[in-house]
């Protein structure tokens, strides 16, 4: 039976009441499975939570959390005191400082998505790494993606990531007019640096543009919203929907600032202002993808 993922239902679920499904002995630690959990398992480039699971005097220190293909969350760790077994009611509590840092790092990656989109680059978001020592987001230029995957080789359901949403005039216009009519108006991109192309000479300009927009987003703030919806409906609110959405998590979109949907199972800030200062340090092309590296100014 899959574990209910409580961290997906709100922005700040740090504690949970749960019952123990199983406690298994591994070589050097234990594996605790609960019926529901607030612990985020590593995934989507975001690191796992740590924390404790307690039942009376029994304290289980969670050092690592993983989600398996069946949607079961495994809390790995050791008992610091006492013990509990299957059937026991427990309280789970994540280390909030660690979670908040991971959440801010993750959300910072989506602020870069927003900036890339507002600047008019036709880059399709790919994988990201949102670790304190290594934070980056990768993009595939649309033109290149099209070349890489001819229509005859498309898998069923692959159509989402291949849609160039900019060809959907109404949505594109709506989104762009929303952006450019806003207070952050000085973001018009020149024809030399826009589009899906990539020119190493533009690197410094792109970095400066993205940094300027991100800091404006954080300054202005804006509330995010969680929406569960089938993947086939995500195109209405998300500019890019990947064709490899995880099947072991509920399908969910987080709408940034009310107008920028991201299909994502990670944890996110509730308000953009919570991300704090972010700096894009580097952009480089790696294996045909554009990698944007960044860091939080206070971490």
Q: Are 252 and 226 in contact (CB under 8 A)?
A: yes
Candidates 181-189, 209-217, 258-266, 269-277: pick the segment binding Zn ion (CB under 5 A). Answer: 258-266
Least Å distance, CB 110 to Zn ion, is 6
Scanning residues 84 to 143, which ones bind Zn ion (CB under 5 A)?
none
Q: What is the DSSP letter of 29?
A: S
Min separation Cβ 165 and Zn ion, Å: 18
Min. distance of Cβ 296 from Zn ion in angstroms?
Answer: 16
Q: Are strands 252-256 and 225-228 parallel, antiparallel or unpaired?
A: antiparallel
**Residue 118 and residue 179 in contact, taking contact as beta carbons nearer than 8 Å:** yes
Stretch that binds Zn ion, among 73-81, 205-213, 236-244, 257-265 (CB under 5 A): 257-265
Nearest to Zn ion of 141, 266 (CB atom):
266
Distance CA 141, CA 213 (A): 20
264 touches Zn ion (CB under 5 A): yes
Cα–Cα distance for residue pair 124/127, rounded to 1 Å:
10
Which span sits near Zn ion by CB under 5 A: 54-62, 175-183, 221-229, 260-268? 260-268
Between 32 and 214, name the residue whose CB sits nearer to Zn ion: 214
β strands within the chain, DSSP E: 4-5, 15-25, 30-34, 36-37, 51-55, 58-67, 73-81, 89-94, 123-131, 134-141, 225-228, 252-256, 260-263, 278-286, 289-296
Taking the complex as a whole, the smallest distance from the CB of residue 65 to Zn ion amounts, in Å, to 17
d(CA 179, CA 222): 13
Query: For Zn ion, which stretch binds (CB under 5 A), given 50-58, 176-184, 241-249, 263-271?
Result: 263-271
> 53 or 108, CB closer to Zn ion?
108
Q: What is the dihedral of CA 270, 217, 97, 130, to 10 degrees?
A: 100
**Measured between alpha carbons, how far is residue 106 from residues 35, 42, 46 in Å?**
26, 12, 7
Which of 266, 267, 290, 295 contacts Zn ion by CB under 5 A? 266
Q: CB of 266: closest distance to Zn ion in angstroms? A: 4
Shortest distance (Å) from residue 25 CB to Zn ion: 34
**By the criterion CB under 5 A, which residues form the site for Zn ion?**
264, 266
């Amino acid at each position: 039976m899959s574990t209910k993922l409580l961290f997906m239902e709100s922005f700040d679920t740090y504690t949970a009441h749960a019952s123990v499904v199983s406690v298994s002995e591994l070589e050097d630690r234990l594996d605790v499975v609960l019926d529901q959990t607030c612990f985020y398992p590593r995934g989507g480039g975001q690191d796992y939570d740590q924390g404790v699971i307690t039942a009376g005097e029994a304290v289980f220190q969670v050092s690592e959390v993983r989600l398996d293909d069946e949607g079961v969350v495994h809390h790995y760790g050791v008992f610091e005191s006492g013990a509990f077994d299957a059937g026991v009611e427990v309280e789970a509590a994540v280390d909030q400082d660690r979670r908040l840092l991971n959440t801010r790092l993750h959300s910072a990656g989506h602020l870069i998505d927003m900036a890339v989109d507002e600047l008019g680059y036709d880059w399709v978001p790919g994988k990201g790494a949102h670790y304190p020592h290594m934070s980056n987001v990768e993009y595939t230029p649309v033109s290149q993606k099209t070349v890489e995957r001819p229509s005859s080789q498309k898998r069923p359901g692959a159509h989402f990531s291949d849609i160039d949403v900019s060809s959907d005039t109404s949505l594109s216009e709506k989104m762009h007019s929303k952006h450019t009519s806003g207070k952050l108006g000085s973001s018009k991109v020149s024809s030399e640096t826009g589009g899906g192309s990539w020119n190493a000479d533009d690197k410094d300009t792109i970095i400066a543009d993205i940094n300027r927009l991100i800091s404006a987003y954080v300054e202005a703030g804006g509330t995010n919203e969680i929406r569960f919806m089938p993947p086939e409906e995500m195109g209405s609110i998300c500019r890019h929907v990947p064709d490899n959405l995880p099947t072991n998590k509920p399908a969910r979109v987080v709408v940034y600032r009310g107008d920028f949907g991201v299909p994502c199972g990670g944890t996110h800030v509730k308000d953009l202002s919570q991300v704090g200062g972010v700096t894009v340090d580097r952009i480089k092309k790696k294996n045909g993808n554009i990698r944007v590296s960044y860091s939080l100014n206070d971490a």
